[in-house]
Structure 1
Amino acid sequence: MSGDKARPEPAPRIKRFYQRAEAAPLEGGFGVLLDGRPARTPLKTQLTVPHEVLGAELAGEWQAQDPDIETPTMPLTRLANTAIDGVARERDGVIESMAAYAGSDLICYRASAPEGLVSRQAECWDPIVRWAEKATATRLTLTAGLVAVEQSPDLIPAIARLIADHDDLALAALAMTTTMSGSVLMALALSRRAINADAAWAAAHVDEDWQISQWGEDAEAARRRAGLYRDFLAAARVLDLCRA
């Protein structure tokens, strides 16, 4: 037997099984018809979203699949599935777990050197700190290094209230941006339009971008980052539509 670790087998490909995907008003919102039949989530719930524009964009994702259905290229559909099959069933738990990020949020932990990185963190993160302090009526404690610092006991409850002010779809998008960045404060600033998607992406990747500027980036890392960027923009799009 070989000593090499077994590699996981790739997910089986699903052949496109429909001729036409089109957006349509459905009970509970807007969805996608596949040859006249409503598309469904992995748990067999009807795929619907509350916004007509988003319904059309979902249909565009389904129509673009050819010859196989490749879910990594369908970030809006995956977000909608998460909202319907996951967030809607565990909403309170999602809010609680996201609010907990505020206790050790990325943007509160700063580098002490080199000077260029310190400056870039301040440039990207300080506007979010100012917004968060105003939005939560608390003062954030910042630190240089990885030693844990305590935040105001009022911070997490205030953050939880801001998170709860999102419907299930927006909450799924907020959760994605939070876990991708390590910062619920950044995700909320994006949702509240205190920063735009480009500023949020930059804030989430300050350290990584600094390393790339110093040492370069290999092709595999670049491909992975491109996929993450696609997902991030989809989440930002959902947040923007939900605030329209």
Structure 2
Amino acid sequence: MSLALRLAVRARPSPFPPCRKLLPLPVTRSLHNSPADSATPLPITAHGPPPKPPVPAASEICELRRRQKAERANPGKKLWKEVRVEKRDSGLAILLDKLPIRTPLKKAIVVPKNKPLLADAVALEWSLLNSAQDALTKRYRTPLTQLAARVIDMHEPNTFTPSRDATIKSAMGYLNTDTLIFCAPTTPKEHRHPNKKTLRELQVAEAKPVVEWLTTVLWPRTVIEYNNGDFGITATAQQPSDTEKVIMGWLEGLTDWDLVALEMATLSSKSLLIGARLVAEWSSDVGVGGKSWGIEEAARAASVEVRYQTKIWGEVEDTHDVDKEDIKRQLGAAWLMALGGAR
């Protein structure tokens, strides 16, 4: 093709529309200036399914509720079908079907024949258990069983069961700091209310009849000194040596069942004198009680200061009301241990 023809073709208009001019792309900027690292793939060496994602730890209360719900759904199995009390020559045995309940030292629990209510109460504890595991993990549901086992294993002292002499010594340790005979300091006149008794007056009014009964009926011609708060909170009155000897001799003469009952009452009320009167009033072996002073009176004598303070400042819910019923429960267990009667 000649040069003139080629120039004529170029001058001819194109049948295609003209191309639009492309706009430049926007410039991208990184959020940081650190260079990107290239990934290094590693070989897969794990076997099996991938692990489960982590789960946040539950609180203690949620875990407790979960266990309780599981126990209610699957309470387990009882190893016995019947709980009954059987009369034997040695006393009243509590049987799970045909096997007796045993102490930690593998001795059969046999209650004296003159304590039928205690035997029935121990049998009731085991009747109310949901499973055999409850007997091991929920010991708070079998308090009377533990006290009975404490009596039977007492003559073979071990880590969990102190000896009879150790029990007497522990009870005597409460005498000089006894709750019943402690009197608060005298309230100044400017702080007294004309129509209300002071704490000291309430304490004396509660302790006086108990001390008079102990020093005239149970331990005649003995003298029990009060702890006077006017001399200081830490000042304690030493009881006369003759009084200590009389009380020690009385403790040594108690049966094992009455001694453990006294120990339970003393620990719950923080008062040896309250425990002594409760046991002496109801024990068939002591034989001096008129059965006119019981659990309610003992709990009242042991909680004079608490009742005085809550009357002024109010009662804390789930604290004072629970403590008030709990001390009655513990004193009731001591009362059942000491109680005697024909079946």
Asked if structure 2 preserves the Cα contact closer than 8 Å seen for 1:22 and 1:63, the reply is no
Letter of the 1:99 counterpart: M
Aligned counterparts of 2:341 and 2:185: Cα–Cα separation in 1: 38
Specify whether residues 118 and 202 from structure 1 end up closer, same or farther in structure 2 by C-alpha distance, changes over 3 A only.
same
- Residue 210 of structure 1 is matched in structure 2 by 308
The farther-off stretch of 168-177 and 190-199 is 190-199
- Residue 318 of structure 2 is matched in structure 1 by 219
Aligned counterparts of 2:212 and 2:101: Cα–Cα separation in 1: 43
Cα offset, 1:24, TM superposition: 0.8
CA deviation vs aligned residue, 1:154-187 (integer Å, no higher than 9, x gap): 1111111222232111211110111111211111
Cα offset, 1:93, TM superposition: 2.1
Specify whether residues 88 and 53 from structure 1 end up closer, same or farther in structure 2 by C-alpha distance, changes over 3 A only.
farther
- Residue 176 of structure 2 is matched in structure 1 by 103
The farther-off stretch of 139-148 and 66-75 is 66-75
Instruction: Give 2:102's match in structure 1, choosing from 25, 29, 40.
Output: 40
Percent identity between the aligned chains?
A: 26
Q: Tell me the SS of whatever aligns to 1:192.
A: helix
1:76 aligned onto 2:164: no
Asked if structure 1 preserves the Cα contact closer than 8 Å seen for 2:268 and 2:330, the reply is no
Task: Count matched residues.
Answer: 237
Aligned counterparts of 1:99 and 1:85: Cα–Cα separation in 2: 21
CA deviation vs aligned residue, 1:201-242 (integer Å, no higher than 9, x gap): 111111122222222122144335433321221211222228
The farther-off stretch of 205-214 and 166-175 is 205-214
1:230 aligned onto 2:329: yes
Aligned counterparts of 2:342 and 2:210: Cα–Cα separation in 1: 19
Q: Tell me the SS of whatever aligns to 1:103.
A: coil
Specify whether residues 44 and 82 from structure 1 end up closer, same or farther in structure 2 by C-alpha distance, changes over 3 A only.
same
Letter of the 1:65 counterpart: L
Asked if structure 2 preserves the Cα contact closer than 8 Å seen for 1:173 and 1:235, the reply is yes
- Residue 3 of structure 1 is matched in structure 2 by none
Instruction: Give 2:123's match in structure 1, choosing from 51, 54, 59.
Output: 59
- TM-score by length of structure 1 reads 0.84
Q: Tell me the SS of whatever aligns to 1:30.
A: strand
Aligned counterparts of 2:213 and 2:179: Cα–Cα separation in 1: 15
Structure ID, larger Rg? 2
Aligned counterparts of 2:341 and 2:106: Cα–Cα separation in 1: 24
- Residue 91 of structure 1 is matched in structure 2 by 164
CA deviation vs aligned residue, 1:11-70 (integer Å, no higher than 9, x gap): xx9954322111112453112110210111122211111133322221122112224444
Structure 2: tracts of 5 or more residues without a match: 1-59, 65-70, 158-162, 188-196, 282-288
Q: Tell me the SS of whatever aligns to 1:59.
A: helix
Aligned counterparts of 2:304 and 2:245: Cα–Cα separation in 1: 28
Structure 1: tracts of 5 or more residues without a match: 1-5
- Residue 142 of structure 1 is matched in structure 2 by 226
Specify whether residues 156 and 26 from structure 1 end up closer, same or farther in structure 2 by C-alpha distance, changes over 3 A only.
same
Aligned counterparts of 1:88 and 1:174: Cα–Cα separation in 2: 20
CA deviation vs aligned residue, 1:78-108 (integer Å, no higher than 9, x gap): 2112212236741122122212322332222
Q: Tell me the SS of whatever aligns to 2:330.
A: helix
- Residue 30 of structure 1 is matched in structure 2 by 92
Return the structure number with greater relative CO, CA threshold 8 A, min gap 6.
1
- Residue 82 of structure 2 is matched in structure 1 by 20
Specify whether residues 47 and 63 from structure 1 end up closer, same or farther in structure 2 by C-alpha distance, changes over 3 A only.
same
Over aligned residues, Cα RMSD in angstroms? Answer: 3.0
Structure with the largest fraction of helix: 1
Aligned counterparts of 2:298 and 2:156: Cα–Cα separation in 1: 26
Specify whether residues 92 and 56 from structure 1 end up closer, same or farther in structure 2 by C-alpha distance, changes over 3 A only.
same
- Residue 122 of structure 1 is matched in structure 2 by 204
